[in-house]
Amino acid sequence: MNRKRMASWALVGTLVLSAVLSACTDNKNSSNTSSPSPSSSSTSSPAPSSSASAPAMADGPLGKYDPPITVTTVRMFNSGLEFVKGQDWDNNVYTNGLKDELGIIVKNQWIVDDQQYTNKLNVSMVSGDLPDVFEVTLQQLQLLVEAGALADLTDAYNKYSSDLTKKSFGEGDGIALKAVTFNGKLMAIPNGGTTGREDSQFIWIRKDWLKKLNLQPPATMDDVVNIAKAFATGDPDGNNKKDTFGLNLDYNLFNGWAGLDGFFNGYHAYPYNPGGPTATGLNLMFLNKGGQLDYADIQPEVKTALGKLQELYKAGAINPEFSVMSGEKSAELATAGKVGMTFGQFWNAGWPLNEMKSKDPKVDWGVFPLVSADDQPVLKTSNSITPTRFWVVSKNAKNPEAAIKFLNFYLEKNYGETRDENYHSVKQDGKDIATFGLSPVLGGFSETNQNDFYAVQDAFKSNDPSKLNPTAKGYYDGIVNYRKGDLKAWPNELMFGTEDGSAYGILGTYKKNNEFMTNAYLGAPTATMAKNGPALKDLEVKEFTKIIMGEQPLDTFDTFVDNWKKQGGQQILNEVNEWLKQHQ
């Protein structure tokens, strides 16, 4: 399948982005790491046999089955998927590698567009056509465990997991492992998409607008408010029309792009409950307040920040139509040059801002750390250390350990001694085609990109890029090209370029100071959350929106808090505190 991609605009952004997000490259060359590199010490030598009693000829993490076994799985794809020429789902670097090296024949029972994956999986379950290995969400995982449909992977894990696999399970202080353990049994493999602290927010600001209005980058939240107002009233685009806004926002309110998470963080508030029609209202954020869990979105600091937003709206700094706009529309506002500041995550440079520089060199988006409203350090909301997708094994599978072996194989080929770039991506006709997604099970380590960043910085200091791994070398080359004038390579600069002017530079500082606020509740959505969560989300987004738009006075926030508790919120609080008691 071909990638649905037009050469110019998506290319740079996507390649950078895919490499960054894949989080699956080696980093043993980095020397200046703030945290231990996952593979620098660990190696999984090709299968020294660990147990003599194992059946057949498949001992050890990477032992080979002889005769080969067949393992069924199911796959989802999106229309962005592209294959290396001559390869497809049933014939690619992973299916061939697994067959030749591990003696496992991977059979794809079906392949479906990702939008219909849940439907297709459900009908397969009803028909009794469950594959051996498949991917699920947290809710599905719970249902399947409840129904007793899954294989217990504890033994397989103990017997077969490689060092790298064990390390990947241990990511995030064991949060991943905790998420897949039910009654002491290992029931799933957490999706390797655990990305450390990559969901922390930054402030993205048009530096060219700052310069034009003689403003300095923000040092406090008051500065943020003033800049936003100045962007709206000071005609930063110089067209003599009052058609610009200072702070980008859309109906999601909380989001990795144009969300308010970082704005609230500045006031030491940590609300998180995206409001769009597709949001679930299940991922609630809880704070541990003196041994009691409390809902982050109903704290008094939230009210303070909402007051500031109301002030900004009144001053015309926020698009009055934000409440009907989706994320795509708020992105349009930014690329059309109508807004000069937005809170968001590191990838905003890769989308949607990626092409602005090359289309108009005067446009100069910069990335800045979050700032505080007072002298207290600002903690950033960050929950991505908790896995959200999982691989599970059907209880009818003949070889449940195969799933563990898939992960062993994947990690070995991408991070281990026998690392092979073909298992990550392949260059074809001048573009990189990702192959890592073809593995039936994926894994990863959360510090990969961060380590690549430090490696790139070292390479610049020593003027010697020769030690960089291929991925980091890609960033390095991108930055060099950008500085030579190739404006299409701009996202590299904003993500990996400098210590204080790139997202990973700033993120590194966040990490050094350990300035994060993480959800204190790690369990699956409780019964009341599932039942009342969506309605409570509607209530919250409606109240917050009305307060921001000035349709309701700020003090209605207190009524909202009462209503939230009355309409099921108190029950949710009781449930999560019950959970806390059991997990202390």
Partner 1 sequence: MVQHRTIGRLLFVSANYLVLTVLALLCILPVVNVLAVSLSEGYYVGAGLVKLWPVGFTLKSYAFVAETPEFIRSVWISVERVALGGALNMLLTVIVAYPLSKEAGQLRLRTLYVWLFVFTMLFSGGLIPTYVVIRELHLLDTMWALVLPGAVPIFNVILLLNFFRSLPKELEEAAHIDGATYMQTLWRIIVPLSKPALATITLFTIVAHWNEWFNGLIYMNMPEKYPLASYLQTVIVQRDISLTTDPMMMERLADLNNRSVKAAQIFLGALPVFCVYPFLQRFFMSGIVMGSMKE
Partner 2 sequence: MAHKRWAREMPLHLLVWTGLAFVLVFCYGPMVGIVIAFQRFLPTNGLFNSRWIGFDNFRQIAEMPDTTRVIFNTVYIAVMKMVAGLIAPITMALLLNEIAQKAFKRTVQTIIYLPHFLSWVILSGVLIDILSPNFGIVNDLLGSLGMPHVYFLGDEKWFPFVLVGTDVWKEFGFSTIVFLAALTGINPALYEAAVIDGASRWKQTLYITLPGIVPIMVLMATLSLGNVLNAGFDQVFNLYNPSVYSTGDILDTYVYRMGLQNFQFGVATAVGLFKSAVSFVLISVSYVLAYRFANYRIF
- In the structure encoding, which two tokens stand for residue 205, read together? 């600001």
d(CA 339, CA 352) in angstroms, rounded, equals: 13
Q: Choose the binding region for partner 1 from 44-52, 177-185, 250-258, 573-581 (rule: CB under 8 A).
A: 250-258
Tokens of 566: 């009355």
What region does 514 belong to: left with phi over 0, alpha with psi -120 to 50, or beta? left
Number of residues that bind partner 2 (CB under 8 A): 38
Binding mask 247-276 for partner 2 (x = CB under 8 A): ----x-----------------------xx
Residue 10 touching partner 1 (CB under 8 A)? yes
**Both tokens of residue 454?**
């430090």
Q: Which of 79, 122, 428, 574 binds partner 2 (CB under 8 A)?
A: 122
Per DSSP (E only), the strands in 119-276 are: 133-137, 181-182, 185-186, 189-190, 202-206
> Does residue 556 interact with partner 2 by CB under 8 A?
no
Please state the closest distance from residue 79 (CB atom) to partner 2, in A.
Answer: 14
69 binds, among partner 2, partner 1, none (CB under 5 to 8 A by kind): none
Q: Are 473 and 421 in contact (CB under 8 A)?
A: no
Least Å distance between CB 115 and partner 2?
Answer: 12
Q: On the CB side of 579, how many CA atoms lie within 13 Å of its CA?
A: 18
477 three-class SS: helix
- 116 is an interface residue for partner 2 by CB under 8 A: no
Per partner kind, with CB cut-offs from 5 to 8 A, the member of partner 1, partner 2, none near residue 520 is none
Sequence-distant (≥ 6) Cβ neighbours of residue 507 within 8 angstroms: 197, 198, 200, 346, 450
| 259 touches 201 (CB < 8 A) | yes
User: Can residue 18 be called a binding residue for partner 1 (CB under 8 A)?
Assistant: yes
- Closest distance between partner 2 and the C-beta of residue 363, in Å? 21
Taking the C-alpha atoms of residue 423 and residue 206, their distance in angstroms, rounded to an integer, is: 39
Strands 181-182 and 185-186: antiparallel
Instruction: Provide, rounded to whole angstroms, the least separation between the CB of residue 393 and partner 2.
Output: 14
Compute the distance between CA of residue 519 and CA of residue 525 in angstroms, rounded to an integer. 13
Nearer to partner 1, 289 or 359 (CB): 359
Q: Smallest Cα–Cα separation from 36: which of 448, 364, 334? A: 448
Q: Judged by CB under 8 A, does residue 279 bind partner 1?
A: yes
Measuring CA to CA, which residue among 275, 251, 233, 323 is closest to residue 549?
A: 323
Interface with partner 1 (CB under 8 A), residue from 31, 41, 49, 79: 79
- Residue 426 binds partner 1, judged by CB under 8 A: no
Question: Does residue number 352 form part of the binding site for partner 1 (CB under 8 A)?
Answer: yes
Of 24-32, 421-429, 503-511, 526-534, which segment contacts partner 2 by CB under 8 A? 526-534
6 vs 52, beta carbon nearer partner 1:
6
By CB under 8 A, residue 428 contacts partner 2: no
Determine the Cα–Cα distance for residues 475 and 496; give it in Å rounded to an integer.
7
Binding-site partner at residue 130 among partner 1, partner 2, none, CB < 5 to 8 Å by type: partner 2
> Angle 383-250-509 (CA atoms, 0-180°, nearest 5)?
40
Tokens of 409: 């194989």
Q: Does residue 530 belong to the site contacting partner 2 (CB under 8 A)?
A: yes
Residue 243 binding partner 1, by CB under 8 A: no
Which structure tokens are listed for 562? 């009462």
Which element (helix H / strand E) includes 105? strand 104-113
Nearest to 395 by CA among 145, 155, 181: 145
Contact indicator for 293, 521 with CB cutoff of 8 Å: yes
With CB under 8 A as the contact rule, the residue among 92, 255, 372, 528 that binds partner 1 is 255
Please say whether the beta carbons of 212 and 198 come within 8 A: no
C-alpha count within 13 angstroms, C-beta hemisphere, residue 568: 15
337 binds, among partner 1, partner 2, none (CB under 5 to 8 A by kind): partner 1
Contact between 513 and partner 1 per CB under 8 A? no
- Minimal CA–CA distance to 67: which of 31, 104, 42? 104
Q: What Rg value do the Cα atoms of the chain yield, rounded?
A: 25
User: Rounded to whole angstroms, how far apart are CA atoms 219 and 237?
Assistant: 23
The correct pick among 191, 201, 283, 323 for binding partner 2 (CB under 8 A) is 323
252's tokens: 């999601």
Interface region with partner 2, contact rule CB under 8 A, candidates 52-60, 193-201, 325-333, 342-350? 325-333
Q: Is residue 315 near partner 2 by the rule CB under 8 A?
A: no
Span interacting with partner 2, options 34-42, 277-285, 374-382, 415-423, rule CB under 8 A: 277-285
Q: Which does 534 bind (CB under 5 to 8 A by kind): partner 2, partner 1, none?
A: partner 2
Q: Residue 447 binds which one of partner 1, partner 2, none, with CB within 5 to 8 A depending on kind?
A: none
Residues near partner 2 (CB under 8 A) are: 118, 122-123, 125-126, 128, 130, 139-140, 143-144, 146-147, 149, 251, 275-277, 280-282, 320-321, 323-326, 328-329, 530, 533-535, 538, 541-542, 545, 567
Residue numbers at the binding site for partner 1 (CB under 8 A): 1-10, 13-14, 17-18, 21-22, 77-80, 109-113, 115-116, 119-120, 122-123, 126-127, 129, 193, 195, 198-199, 252, 255-257, 274, 276, 278-280, 283, 326-328, 331-333, 335-337, 345, 347, 350-352, 354-355, 359, 383-384, 388-389
